[in-house]
Structure 1
């Protein structure tokens, strides 16, 4: 480990800080540079989705965020002077049955606290102004400009661009940022309100004048976003609270008075992405790789999850535990996710912002019936919360006869289970646990259940997978007594063996007859640890 050069991370926003946190957890040295002089204080992204909270929970961060944020349990959509429908999060498959509305400044503070625990310091007022496109064996070289204007040449093992929409790395590599700029202009503002607008909901007002959203930050504080502002946006001006009030009164049937505005701005929407996230020893993620409409509060969450997908792979390769091909799966995993986010946010932006009176009439009459069905309610909220995200088409996902609904590429949900011990262990008593408690974000987790002969299967797993034991933790699990419906749904009623990635997605799904295939899978992606030999030269 001591001979591993640092990973250089450019950009200390949510994506960059997540990358630094993840790599440091694995013991990988990092340098995190940020061109601005201090942490941002404006809210920008304001929604943390359930899947991000689950991943943060496994890293000891979610409770701090939840304590600081406001739980939005539904999305209320209005049109024609009334509420058209209410999309509720109560059915999603997570204990976080809400969008957590919280200033991005608070989210970043939580990430900085995590970095401090890992003794990582952000190098403020430090810009990366260039890097070598020709790689030198096991590293590349970047040029930093420090706060005093001096230049530093840095050798690093890999470079991660989390710089944002104006990425120097992306522009230097000449990567097409494909997509489009939407014509509409938007106004933003943060302020307090007087009135009866429930802060349990995200409120979306869709009208012939355009779209307006009210994001509840808690304690009567809201973020407003509105299309078609009244005045002409200019770099020399900011939206006034009077204009934001006028936009609200124009589009909302609920009387509310704005006051104490802390920040406002203009912006327009770009919907763009690159199509390859790895370029040799360089990776891009977050806004460096994709930007899109804020509709649905997807952007920051997608960037954070980019880095969680990348960094366990990068850490294992750097530590000699996995093969270099594993790094190519970062792009193949995340590009379909990014494409889906761009497509869905564009559609959502166009539908809620449509001004055509015929469309508005159809929307106001049909949407309550369509969205009111249980199927649409559940599936819409699962997608928005990013719980339905999966990697089933990833090269890392292999299925070999798993009997339950969990397939390779699926997210492991949280579920109460009984932890069993194999015969011969010191403690024979079953123990209550949950799947999340058993997952290890720093290693693979092997779950096996409904095994006909546990001792025999355990011995076969130990023998067949002994070259990779140091990279995984195994658990034999069963349903909680008298409550096995959910367990049987996920794992089936016959033997099941699941290998789970460090980011909580199933890598390999099979049964007790699939252990040889599991060994081949490990050999394909992971580096085997040499086995000890006895005096005769045979494996012990």
Structure 2
């Protein structure tokens, strides 16, 4: 299928999870992108397996989370083994109150994620042009020109904006000559998707550490099937066409007993890398997902980070395209996401390097100290919560971003933080809802908390209609016994007020202890770069 259009507002190169999420988010704002991918179609391999709580919250906002949950399997925690012997267990069931509807890791393959997003695009009449390769890309300060090839036919398409979601070997990044600095881990790794004859009692991610290497078992949605990842011994590093029978002996040595794979669906060997692009934007072009950063699989962060890149960028680009905001808003994408990627590379690299280390001191630590230390740390609620907030990505905050304004005395939750999941009782409708559900519509969400008279509410509604119609949704939460937990979470005392302006990506942009429309106007215009409605 050839592209009929000679020009598009947004060209997305790459139809993996990041590119598909970018398209899905733009569609929510009425923007129809053109999506190309050099592959013949969506992947049939499982690839990335972990879907974190923050990604599930995004899927819920899209309206597809029920389908995702039905096809996935919640991972209930992580069990460590040292030289084949059981060690510490980090069970997510006792993490405590983490203010999310999804207090677990959902094991749901990348292939399934892609299909859910493709279904969303199909429902919105947005095709993906498969077997279409970007051959060159040039740009000016106002336009990008892409040369593409499909089925031996070359054509040129111009675009106002280009999104490089085309993976670690990104042709977009290479066309822009953006350095991709980092390194490659020395070990060669294998990945097996197969059914095990061994039955584990509960659905835990199991990590076996040994002075002979590392092996991880990840339960898959299909009963009895696991993703197995491990490193190969040096004796097998140069054999490119390894078979299962050649890998199992080294796997068994790390695990400490014989593992039988009854049905091997997928087997590959590969190198792992940790790299990051020097910049995430150049003029009209942006990098998201693996095109911008790649890292070790520790913590199941890769695919989820790409989804969040798209989630962060899409609403900003949509406001600019729809002439609601100045182009300066787009600078905040790299300002917010590059520190997240940098921190992720640092932490996953440190954890992975430690796990793979075979030094004498490292082996002693794993054998005699690590289990006791993990048991001790997991006994502390504060540490359990920190672990979950980090892995689930619900703890990511943009407090340092120039896009936020915190004018409140509140110290626990501040502007830049993700809006916590908190249930709300709707007194008017006499039904239970939650703060995230209030943010389902595209655009900003204004939440006023505290006792207000009808005249004040009318002034706010009038201000929105006259100045910001179409991209601010308004909710009012009066004090009540049933909603006291929300007031407590935001530290709103008796007789006090709180103004929250939540960004479209469910991060708090503006927080004030007063209901000051002029101050909020200055924030929207001066800080975010949003113009008044015509």
TM-score scaled to structure 1, two decimals? 0.91
360-369 or 174-183: bigger deviation: 360-369
* TM superposition shift of 1:258: 1.6
CA distance in 1, matches of 2:196, 2:480: 47
Q: Deviations over 1:106-138 (max 9, x none)?
A: 111111111111111111110111122324x4x
SS in 1 for 2:299: coil
Q: Deviations over 1:150-181 (max 9, x none)?
A: 11111211000001011111112111111111
403-412 or 316-325: bigger deviation: 403-412
The aligned residue for residue 148 of structure 2 is 144
Which aligned pairs between 1:221-240 and structure 2 lie closer than 5 A? 221-229=225-233, 231-234=235-238, 236-238=240-242, 240=243
The aligned residue for residue 397 of structure 2 is 390
Which aligned pairs between 1:95-110 and structure 2 lie closer than 5 A? 95-110=101-116
1:406 aligns with 2:413: yes
CA distance in 1, matches of 2:256, 2:453: 63
1:126 aligns with 2:132: yes
* Distance verdict in 2 for CA 1:515–1:144, change over 3 Å: same
Would you say the 8 A contact 1:132–1:141 is kept in 2?
yes
Q: Deviations over 1:276-309 (max 9, x none)?
A: 2111110111111001101110000000110011
**Of 99, 106, 109, which aligns to 1:93?**
99
* Distance verdict in 2 for CA 1:97–1:255, change over 3 Å: farther
The aligned residue for residue 522 of structure 2 is 520
The aligned residue for residue 534 of structure 1 is none
SS in 2 for 1:261: strand
The aligned residue for residue 473 of structure 1 is 473
* Distance verdict in 2 for CA 1:485–1:28, change over 3 Å: closer
* Distance verdict in 2 for CA 1:478–1:346, change over 3 Å: farther
Would you say the 8 A contact 1:233–1:266 is kept in 2?
no
* TM superposition shift of 1:359: 2.1
306-315 or 455-464: bigger deviation: 455-464
The aligned residue for residue 115 of structure 1 is 121
10-19 or 399-408: bigger deviation: 399-408
Q: Deviations over 1:77-128 (max 9, x none)?
A: 1114322211222324322121111221111111111111111111111011
1:304 aligns with 2:278: no
CA distance in 1, matches of 2:479, 2:85: 46
* Distance verdict in 2 for CA 1:402–1:461, change over 3 Å: farther
Would you say the 8 A contact 2:192–2:264 is kept in 1?
yes
Would you say the 8 A contact 2:84–2:208 is kept in 1?
no
SS in 1 for 2:436: helix
Q: What is the number of equivalent residue pairs in this alignment?
A: 518
CA distance in 2, matches of 1:204, 1:103: 19
Q: Deviations over 1:390-429 (max 9, x none)?
A: 1111111110125363211111122111346xxxxxxx66
CA distance in 2, matches of 1:443, 1:243: 54
CA distance in 2, matches of 1:322, 1:389: 25
* Distance verdict in 2 for CA 1:230–1:258, change over 3 Å: farther
* TM superposition shift of 1:505: 0.5
The aligned residue for residue 187 of structure 2 is 184
1:436 aligns with 2:439: no
* TM superposition shift of 1:4: 9.0
Would you say the 8 A contact 1:15–1:285 is kept in 2?
yes
Q: Pairwise CA RMSD of aligned residues?
A: 2.2
* TM superposition shift of 1:460: 4.2
SS in 2 for 1:502: coil
CA distance in 1, matches of 2:447, 2:486: 16
* TM superposition shift of 1:526: 4.2
482-491 or 504-513: bigger deviation: 482-491
The aligned residue for residue 60 of structure 2 is 57
400-409 or 213-222: bigger deviation: 400-409
* Distance verdict in 2 for CA 1:375–1:228, change over 3 Å: farther
Would you say the 8 A contact 2:461–2:474 is kept in 1?
no
CA distance in 2, matches of 1:342, 1:441: 33
The aligned residue for residue 6 of structure 1 is 9
The answer for unaligned runs of 5 or more in structure 2 is none
SS in 2 for 1:316: helix
Which aligned pairs between 1:67-466 and structure 2 lie closer than 5 A? 67-90=70-93, 91=95, 92-135=98-141, 137=142, 139-147=143-151, 149-198=152-201, 200-218=203-221, 219-229=223-233, 231-234=235-238, 236-238=240-242, 240-253=243-256, 256-364=259-367, 365=369, 366-401=373-408, 403=410, 405-419=412-426, 431-451=431-451, 453-462=452-461, 464-465=463-464, 466=466
Would you say the 8 A contact 2:296–2:348 is kept in 1?
yes
CA distance in 2, matches of 1:206, 1:106: 30
SS in 1 for 2:42: coil
CA distance in 2, matches of 1:226, 1:378: 28
284-293 or 259-268: bigger deviation: 259-268
* Distance verdict in 2 for CA 1:399–1:249, change over 3 Å: same
Q: Deviations over 1:433-452 (max 9, x none)?
A: 2112211351100001013x
Which aligned pairs between 1:525-540 and structure 2 lie closer than 5 A? 525-530=528-533
